[in-house]
Structure 1
């Protein structure tokens, strides 16, 4: 399937209601408003196609960029490629749910995510922390350094409330994910979440969000979800 055909298919799948929702979350034109679930049949036909993914991502169309992440070859992309994609990710739904997700399925995920976390840039930091959430929620516990994840919890505890808004949200999600999906540090994550308390995330033209990782970890524990791992990261 070629580029023009995919763009036409995505346009047909677009819904005005979905488009309005994406716009309210920070997306801007061009976009069609395609629900992520509606992309699955198209993704099954194409499978992995890095060349096509690059063409779609370069359009600046939100739906095409999202779909690019689904059909990209994570190990076919270099660190420079991921940085280029992140440079073009203009809001968190691209940085955290497209670039970070694709990176999480690559062999260089932790190295690149570490650089992003230390960058000082809001969306890069957000993508870095988010990448670890995808990783911890999918890969086996032994694939991570316990001391490294523990150190990340310490850094987070001391800096989350003074971090940029989108980064705060991703950091909060990291504490939650460690608490639920990374058993070696479950107890430390619970303690960290308790000490961090409620995290306020301010949003443009919207009311603030108030996040509580401690409560959310407890809910998952009550549901018997401790140790939960996703089978797949990308849809």
Structure 2
């Protein structure tokens, strides 16, 4: 199946309502507006294919870029490849739910995420912290350096309120994920969540609140979900 045929199939799966939703969240043309679930049969048909994934991602079409993440072969991607993908990730649904998710299935995930977080660039920071969330929610606790994660919590506590908007979301989610999925630092994450309290983000149109990390962690406690690990990162 060539790229044009794939794009035609994507367009057939689109709805105007989904397109408007994506645009409200930051997507821009070109895009069709295809729900993630609607893409799954097509992704299953294409299977894991890095060559097609690269062609899809390069179109700049949001739906094609998302499909690229679904069929990408993470083991075939280098640090330079992920940096290149981030270079055209123009809003958080690409950086956090395409690039970061794909990165989370590699052995270089933490090293690349550390570099992106240290860059100070909004979407790179968002992708870096988001990748850690995907990792923590999937991999065994033993695969992480407790001291390193503790230092990351300290940095979040000190800097979250002065960080770029999308980074705030990801940093807050990082605290929540540590509190739920990484048992050695559960109590520490709860303390940090209480310390940072309400996190506000603003955009040109609206001002909204990020969900309270302390409440999210407590909900998981109440539901008996501490230690939660998902079987797979990508659907």
Shorter-normalised TM-score: what interval?
Answer: over 0.9
Deviation by residue 1:59-114 (Cα, 9 ceiling, x = unmatched): 00000001100100111101010000000000111011100010001111000000
**CA deviation after TM superposition for structure 1 residue 215, in Å:** 0.6
* Residue 59 (str. 1) matches residue 59 (str. 2): yes
Give the Cα–Cα distance (whole angstroms) in 2 for the partners of residues 67 and 53 of structure 1: 7
Report how far residue 202 of structure 1 moved: 1.2
**Residue 122 (structure 2) aligns with:** 122
TM-score, normalising length from structure 2?
A: 0.98
- Dislocated runs of 4+, deviation >3 Å: none
Give the distance between the partners of 1:207 and 1:117, measured in 2 at CA.
Answer: 24
Could you tell me which runs of 5 or more consecutive residues in structure 1 were left unpaired when the two chains were aligned.
none
CA contact (8 A) 1:49 1:72 kept: yes
Shift of 1:210: 3.6
Which residue in the other structure is 2:92 paired with? 92
Render the CA deviation track for 1:170-228: whole Å, top value 9, x for unaligned: 00000000000011111100011011111111123123224310011001110111001
User: Aligned partners of 2:13 and 2:139: how far apart in 1?
Assistant: 32
Runs of 5+ consecutive residues of structure 2 not aligned to the other structure:
none
TM-aligned CA deviation for residue 51 of structure 1:
0.3
Any conservation in 2 of the 1:203–1:209 contact (CA below 8 Å)?
A: no
2:209 corresponds to which residue? 209
Provide TM-score, normalisation by structure 1: 0.98
Alpha carbons 2:198, 2:209 under 8 Å: kept: no
Q: Would you say the 8 A contact 2:169–2:210 is kept in 1? A: no
Find the counterpart in structure 2 of residue 136 from structure 1: 136
The root-mean-square deviation of aligned C-alpha atoms, in Å, is 0.8
Matched position secondary structure for 1:204: coil
